[in-house]
C-alpha cells in the first residue's frame, strides 16, 4: 500500500477555495457556513474510503457526525467528508502518514474558519475564549468525528454544561441553593465564543437577568418589570449602584451555598 516517494517540503496552506471548485457539492442548503476545505499544496482529494485502512476509529463513527451530513462528494472519488476538514489526502496517503502532509485542526482553528468564516470574528471580540491564542481549541467544546458537533446537544442540558465545567469547576456545583437558570445551560448567560461584554455575558446589565425574570411573578419570588419597582426590595435604587450581580446583591449568579436569592 505504501509507495515510497520523496516529497519536497509540502507546505500546508489554509483557506484554498480554488481546489474546492473541483468538487460537486451535493448539499447546498446551508446558509451559515461556506464550503471551503483547507488547502494542502499539491494534493488531490482521494475520498474517505482511503482513510479506513489506517484510521478505522474515526471512519467507523463518522456517519453519525454533524459534518458527515454535509455529504460533500467528489465526482471521481466519492465522499470526501474527512478531507473537508483535513484537506486533500493524496500525499498523506501515499506517504503512509508522513508528518506535515495533512491538516490537523487541533493545532490551528484556521481549518474550521475556512467554512465558519464568522467564527473568526467572534473569537476576535474583546472578551473571548483564547482560541486564537492557542490556549483553547474548537474541539475542547465540539465533537468532530462522531455525533452532534455541539457536545451535549439534544441530550440533557447537564451534559452540555459538563463541557464547560470540566475546565470551570467553580461553576459546577452542586450548590445548596441552585439558581434555576443553570438548567437552561451556561449559554443562557454566556456567549461561548466571545462577546463585547465582560465575562462573555450575553448582556452587560440587568437585561441579562430580566430576559427570564420579566415573566409574571411567582410564589417563589420571580421578579418582573413591575417587581423591580414594587417589591419590598427597592430594585430601582439598587440598580443605580451597578448590575444585579455587582451592586452587592446577587453576587452568586451560578448558585449559592449561603442564601436562596443567589447571594453570597
Binders in 220-259 for ligand HEC, by CB under 6 A: 220-222, 244-245, 250, 253-254
Cα-to-chain-centroid distance, residue 223: 32
Please say whether the beta carbons of 103 and 87 come within 8 A.
Answer: yes
Q: Which is nearer to ligand HEC, 8 or 159 (CB)?
A: 159
Q: Does 91 bind ligand HEC (CB under 6 A)?
A: no
> E-assigned strands of the chain?
12-13, 24-25, 39-40, 72-74, 78-79, 127-128, 177-178, 194-195, 255-256
Q: In the complex, which residue's CB is closest to ligand HEC?
A: 97
Binds ligand HEC (CB under 6 A): choice among 12, 19, 77, 112? 112
Other CB atoms within 10 A of residue 40 CB: 27
For 181, phi then psi, to 5°, come to: -60, -30
Q: Looking at 10-18, 188-196, 230-238, which segment touches ligand HEC (CB under 6 A)? A: 188-196
- 115-134 residues in contact with ligand HEC (CB under 6 A) are 115-116, 119, 123, 129-131
Report in angstroms how near the CB of residue 243 gets to ligand HEC at its nearest.
7
d(CA 236, CA 228): 6
**Which is nearest to 106 in space by CA: 68, 161, 144?**
144
Interface map 191-220 toward ligand HEC (x if CB under 6 A): -xx-----xxx------xx-xxx----x-x
Interface map 167-186 toward ligand HEC (x if CB under 6 A): xx--x-------xxxx-x-x
Binds ligand HEC (CB under 6 A): choice among 163, 194, 228, 255? 163
Binds ligand HEC (CB under 6 A): choice among 149, 157, 214, 247? 149
Total binding residues toward ligand HEC, as defined by CB under 6 A: 97
d(CA 158, CA 127): 25
Alpha helices (H) along 6-89: 56-62, 83-86
Q: Euclidean distance between the first and final Cα of the chain, in Å? A: 65
Q: Which is nearer to ligand HEC, 8 or 96 (CB)?
A: 96
Report in angstroms how near the CB of residue 205 gets to ligand HEC at its nearest.
10
Binds ligand HEC (CB under 6 A): choice among 43, 77, 91, 102? 102
Report in angstroms how near the CB of residue 40 gets to ligand HEC at its nearest.
10
**Which is nearest to 152 in space by CA: 140, 167, 144, 142?**
142
What is the torsional sign of CA 125, 164, 143, 147? Answer: negative
Q: Which is nearer to ligand HEC, 8 or 31 (CB)?
A: 31
SS3 for 147?
coil
Please say whether the beta carbons of 142 and 149 come within 8 A.
Answer: yes
- 13-72 residues in contact with ligand HEC (CB under 6 A) are 30, 32-33, 35, 37, 46, 48, 50-51, 53-55, 58-59, 62, 66-67, 70
Amino acid at each position: 500500500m505504501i509507495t515510497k516517494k520523496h516529497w519536497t517540503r509540502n507546505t500546508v496552506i489554509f483557506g484554498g477555495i480554488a481546489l474546492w471548485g473541483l468538487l460537486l457539492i451535493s448539499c447546498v442548503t446551508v446558509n451559515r457556513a461556506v464550503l471551503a476545505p483547507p488547502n494542502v499544496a499539491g494534493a488531490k482529494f482521494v475520498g474517505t474510503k482511503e482513510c479506513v485502512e489506517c484510521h478505522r476509529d474515526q471512519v467507523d463513527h463518522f456517519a453519525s457526525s454533524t459534518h458527515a451530513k454535509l455529504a460533500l462528494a467528489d465526482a471521481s472519488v466519492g465522499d470526501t467528508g474527512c478531507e473537508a476538514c483535513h484537506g486533500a489526502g493524496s500525499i498523506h496517503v501515499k506517504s503512509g502518514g508522513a508528518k506535515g502532509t495533512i491538516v490537523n485542526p487541533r493545532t490551528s482553528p484556521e481549518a474550521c474558519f475556512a467554512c465558519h468564516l464568522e467564527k473568526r470574528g467572534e473569537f476576535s471580540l474583546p472578551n473571548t475564549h483564547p482560541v486564537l491564542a492557542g490556549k483553547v481549541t474548537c474541539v475542547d467544546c465540539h465533537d468532530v468525528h462522531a455525533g452532534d458537533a455541539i457536545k451535549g446537544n439534544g441530550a440533557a442540558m447537564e451534559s452540555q454544561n459538563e463541557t464547560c465545567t470540566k475546565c470551570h469547576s467553580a461553576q459546577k456545583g452542586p450548590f445548596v441553593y441552585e439558581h434555576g437558570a443553570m438548567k437552561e445551560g451556561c449559554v443562557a448567560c454566556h456567549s461561548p465564543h466571545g462577546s463585547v461584554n465582560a465575562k462573555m455575558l450575553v448582556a452587560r446589565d440587568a437585561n441579562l437577568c430580566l430576559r427570564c425574570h420579566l415573566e409574571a411573578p411567582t410564589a417563589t419570588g420571580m421578579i418582573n418589570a413591575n417587581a423591580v419597582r414594587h417589591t419590598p426590595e427597592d430594585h430601582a435604587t439598587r440598580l443605580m449602584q451597578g448590575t444585579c450581580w455587582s451592586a452587592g446583591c446577587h453576587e452568586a449568579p451560578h448558585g449559592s451555598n449561603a442564601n436562596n436569592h443567589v447571594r453570597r
